[in-house]
Amino acid sequence: MAGPPIGLPDLAALPQADEEDVVLCAIRTCSRLFGALLERRELFVGQLPEEETSLADNYSAEDKYKIWMRHRYNSCVNCLVELMGHESFQVKELSLTTLMKFVELEGKYPLVKAEWKGSFSFPRELLKVSVVENLIPCEEDASLLISRFQEYLEYDDIRYFVMKAVAENIGQVMQKTKEVPLPIYQQNVFSLISSISMPSKENEVVSFMVKQANQEEWKVSKLKEHKRAFERMWLGFLKHKLPTGLYKKVLVILHDSILPYLNEPTLMIDFLTVAYDIGGAISLLALNGLFVLIQQHNLEYPDFYKKLYSLLDPSIYHVKYRARFFHLADLFLSSSHLPAYLVAAFIKRLSRLALTAPPQALLMVIPFICNLFRRHPACKVLVHRPGGPEDLSEDPYIMDEEEPSESRALESSLWELQTLQRHYHPDVAQAAAVVNQSLSELEDDISGLLELSAYELFDRELKKKATGVPLEFEQVRGLFGKKDDLFAEHFALE
Amino acid sequence: MGKPTKQRRKGQVAARAKGPSGAGMAMVKNNPFEVKVNKQKFNILGRRTKHDVGLPGVSRSKAVKKRTQTLLKEYKEREKSSVFKDKRFGEYNTKISPEEKMMKRFALERQQNHEKKSIYNLNEDEELTHYGQSLADIEKLNDVIDSDSDTEERGILSAELTAAHFGGGGGLLRRKALTGEQDEEEEKPKSRKELIEELIAKSKQEKRERQTQRENALELTEKLDTDWKEIQTLLSHKTPKSERKDKEEEKPKPDEYDMIVRELGFEMKAQPSDRMKTEEELAKEEQERLQKLEADRLRRMHGKDEQENKKKPKHMSADDLADGFILDKDDRRLLSYKGGKLNVGNEEEEGGNEEEEGESEEESEGEPGREDEEEAIVEEDDATDSPSDLESDMGSEEEVTANEEQKKKHKENEQKLQSEEEQNAKIEAARSELPYTFTVPESYEKLKSLLFGRKIEEQLVILERIQKCNHPSLAVGNKAKLEKLFGFLLEYIGELATVEPPELGTIDKLVLPLYSLCQMFPEAASSSVKFVLQDAAHDMEEMIEVKGRATFPGLDMFIYLKITAIVFPTSDFWHPVVTPALVYMSQLLTKCQVMTLQDVVKGLFVCCLFLEYVSLSQRFIPELINFLVGILHIAIPQKQPQGYTLVHPFRPAGKNSELLLVCDKKDMETWQKQNLPLSIMTRLKESSKTEINHFRLSCLAVCLDLIKKCAALYESLSSFHEIMQPIRVLLTEHIPVSEYPKQLQELHKNALKEIEDKGKHYTSMVCEKKKPVPLKLYMPKIVKVLEFGRKQGGSKEEQERKRLIHKHKREFKGAVREIRKDNQFLARMQLSEIMERDSDRKRKVKNLFNSLATQEGEWKAMKRKKFKN
Packed helices B578-591 and B522-547: angle between N→C axes, nearest 10 degrees? 20
Determine whether B598 is exposed, middle or buried from the number of CB atoms within 10 Å of its CB (0-12, 13-18, 19+).
middle
Name the residue among B506, B793, B766 with its Cα closest to residue A479. B506
Name the residue among A489, A332, A317 with its Cα closest to residue A416. A317
B637 in A contact zone (CB under 8 Å): no
Q: List all residues of chain A from 472 to 491 with a beta carbon under 8 Å from chain B.
A: 472-473, 475-482, 485-487, 489-491
Report whether A491 contacts B678 (CB < 8 A): yes
Mean pLDDT along residues A407-424: 89
Distance CA B718, CA B697 (A): 33
Query: Which of A430, A455, A494 is facing B541, going by the closest CB pair?
Result: A455
pLDDT at B472: 80
Q: List all residues of chain A from 286 to 325 with a beta carbon under 8 Å from chain B.
A: 313-315, 317-318
pLDDT at A448: 83
- Element containing residue B53 per DSSP (H, E): strand B53-54
pLDDT, mean over chain A: 79
pLDDT tens column, A129-152? 777 777 777 777 777 778 888 788
CB contact under 8 A, B526 and A419: no
Site from A479, A483, A489 to mutate, B interface, most B CB atoms within 10 angstroms = A479
Report whether A476 contacts A397 (CB < 8 A): no
**Is residue A460 pLDDT above 80, yes or no?**
yes
Residues sharing a CB contact under 8 Å with residue B34, sequence separation 6 or more, in sequence order: B28, B55, B56, B57, B58
Amino acid symbol at A139: E
Partners of A420 on chain B (C-beta within 8 Å) are: 620
pLDDT tens column, A316-359? 888 888 888 898 888 888 888 889 999 999 999 999 999 999 99
Partners of A383 on chain B (C-beta within 8 Å) are: 765, 767
Distance CA A438, CA B88 (A): 90
pLDDT at A8: 53
Partners of B587 on chain A (C-beta within 8 Å) are: 454-455, 458
Provide the 3-class DSSP secondary structure of residue A198. Answer: coil
CB contact under 8 A, A424 and B519: no
**Is residue A12 pLDDT above 70, yes or no?**
no
B575 in A contact zone (CB under 8 Å): yes
CA distance A15 to chain B (A): 37
Provide the 3-class DSSP secondary structure of residue B477. Answer: coil
A456 in B contact zone (CB under 8 Å): no
pLDDT tens column, A64-75? 777 777 777 888
pLDDT tens column, A301-312? 888 888 888 888
Q: List all residues of chain B from 715 to 774 with a beta carbon under 8 Å from chain A.
A: 717-720, 722-723, 760-768, 770
Name the residue among B864, B629, B829, B743 with its Cα closest to residue B71. B829
pLDDT tens column, B606-641? 999 999 888 888 889 999 999 999 888 888 887 777
CB contact under 8 A, B622 and A357: yes
Nearest CA in chain B to A399: B722
CB contact under 8 A, B722 and A395: yes
Nearest CA in chain B to A478: B508
Distance CA B494, CA B532 (A): 10
pLDDT level of residue B150 (50, 70, 90 thresholds) = very low
Report whether A259 contacts A289 (CB < 8 A): yes
Name the residue among A26, A229, A215, A34 with its Cα closest to residue A126. A34
Determine whether B3 is exposed, middle or buried from the number of CB atoms within 10 Å of its CB (0-12, 13-18, 19+).
exposed
Alpha-helical runs (H) found in A178-280: 183-194, 223-238, 244-253, 269-278
pLDDT at B357: 41
Which residues is A392 bridged to in the sheet? B762
Name the least confident of A317-331, B341-355, B412-426, B660-674.
Answer: B341-355
Mean pLDDT along residues B774-797: 72
Q: CA dihedral defined by A339, A342, A343, A347, rounded to 10 degrees? A: 160
Provide the 3-class DSSP secondary structure of residue A143. Answer: helix
Residues sharing a CB contact under 8 Å with residue A333, sequence separation 6 or more, in sequence order: A343, A346, A372, A375
pLDDT level of residue A260 (50, 70, 90 thresholds) = confident
pLDDT tens column, B87-130? 887 777 778 888 888 898 889 888 887 765 566 666 655 666 67
Q: Please tell me the pTM assigned to this model.
A: 0.61
- Element containing residue B800 per DSSP (H, E): helix B796-868
Residue A489 or residue B241, greater confidence: A489
Site from B719, B728, B769 to mutate, A interface, most A CB atoms within 10 angstroms = B719
pLDDT tens column, B426-476? 666 666 667 777 778 888 888 888 887 788 888 888 888 888 888 888 777
Name the least confident of A254-268, A372-386, A416-430.
Answer: A254-268
Residue B93 or residue A425, greater confidence: A425
Residue B840 or residue A217, greater confidence: B840
**Is residue B202 pLDDT above 90, yes or no?**
yes
- Element containing residue B229 per DSSP (H, E): helix B192-232
CB contact under 8 A, A419 and B605: no
pLDDT at B824: 94
Which residues is B336 bridged to in the sheet? B343
CA distance B545 to chain A (A): 12
Residues sharing a CB contact under 8 Å with residue B638, sequence separation 6 or more, in sequence order: B653, B657, B658, B661
**Is residue B210 pLDDT above 90, yes or no?**
yes
Distance CA A459, CA B583 (A): 10
CA distance A46 to chain B (A): 55
Distance of CA A385 to the CA centre of its chain: 47
pLDDT at B237: 55
Nearest CA in chain B to A424: B619
**Is residue B47 pLDDT above 80, yes or no?**
no
pLDDT at B685: 65
Percent pLDDT > 90 in chain B is 14
pLDDT at B7: 45
pLDDT level of residue B3 (50, 70, 90 thresholds) = very low
Phi, psi of B861 (to 5 degrees): -60, -40
Provide the 3-class DSSP secondary structure of residue B341. Answer: strand
Q: How many helices (H) and strands (E) does chain B have?
A: 31, 9
Selection from A28-37, A88-97, B581-590 with the highest mean pLDDT? B581-590
Distance CA B441, CA B461 (A): 15
CA distance B320 to chain A (A): 24
Could you give the C-alpha distances from B797 to B97, B324, B793, B794, in angstroms and in order? 43, 44, 11, 8
**Is residue A428 pLDDT above 60, yes or no?**
yes
A245 in B contact zone (CB under 8 Å): no
Nearest CA in chain A to B293: A473
Name the residue among A282, A305, A301, A273 with its Cα closest to residue A403. A305
SS3 content of chain A, % helix, strand, coil (to 5): 65, 0, 35
Distance CA B287, CA B299 (A): 18
Alpha-helical runs (H) found in B302-327: 306-311
Mean pLDDT along residues B836-848: 96
pLDDT at B813: 97
pLDDT tens column, B529-569? 999 999 999 999 999 888 888 888 888 898 899 889 888 88
Distance CA B290, CA A472 (A): 11
Determine whether B90 is exposed, middle or buried from the number of CB atoms within 10 Å of its CB (0-12, 13-18, 19+).
middle
Query: Which of B519, B573, B586 is facing A359, going by the closest CB pair?
Result: B586
Packed helices B578-591 and B597-613: angle between N→C axes, nearest 10 degrees? 150
pLDDT at B6: 44
Partners of B620 on chain A (C-beta within 8 Å) are: 419-420, 422-424
Distance CA B117, CA B375 (A): 77
Distance CA B101, CA B93 (A): 9
Distance CA B369, CA B832 (A): 101
Determine whether A325 is exposed, middle or buried from the number of CB atoms within 10 Å of its CB (0-12, 13-18, 19+).
buried
DSSP A63-103: HHHHHHHHHHHHHHHHHHHHHTT-S-HHHHHHHHHHHHHHH
pLDDT level of residue A115 (50, 70, 90 thresholds) = low
Phi-psi region of A298 (alpha: psi -120 to 50; beta: other; left: phi over 0): left
Report whether B670 contacts B694 (CB < 8 A): yes
Amino acid symbol at A88: S
Distance CA B702, CA B694 (A): 12
pLDDT at B846: 95
Selection from B196-210, B329-343, B754-768 with the highest mean pLDDT? B196-210
pLDDT at B372: 42
CB contact under 8 A, B770 and A438: yes
Q: List all residues of chain B from 436 to 475 with a beta carbon under 8 Å from chain A.
A: none
Report whether A356 contacts B647 (CB < 8 A): yes
Mean pLDDT along residues B490-515: 85
Distance CA A112, CA B430 (A): 99
pLDDT tens column, B251-305? 566 678 888 888 877 766 666 666 677 778 888 888 888 888 888 888 888 776 5
- Does the CA dihedral A249-A251-A252-A257 come out positive or negative? positive
Query: Which of A419, A471, A480 is facing B719, going by the closest CB pair?
Result: A419
Distance CA A371, CA A365 (A): 10
Distance CA A435, CA A450 (A): 20
Greatest pairwise CA separation for chain B in angstroms: 181
Partners of A426 on chain B (C-beta within 8 Å) are: 303, 573-574, 579
pLDDT level of residue B856 (50, 70, 90 thresholds) = very high
CB contact under 8 A, A479 and B766: no
Name the least confident of A479-483, B255-259, B315-319, B496-500.
Answer: B315-319
pLDDT level of residue B21 (50, 70, 90 thresholds) = low
Name the least confident of A162-171, B21-30, B255-264.
Answer: B21-30
Q: Measured at the alpha carbon of residue B626, what is the angle toward residues B621 and B630, in degrees to the nearest 5?
A: 150
Distance CA B153, CA B146 (A): 11
Provide the 3-class DSSP secondary structure of residue B87. Answer: coil
CA distance B98 to chain A (A): 51
Residue A10 or residue A372, greater confidence: A372
Partners of A357 on chain B (C-beta within 8 Å) are: 622
Residue B217 or residue B46, greater confidence: B217
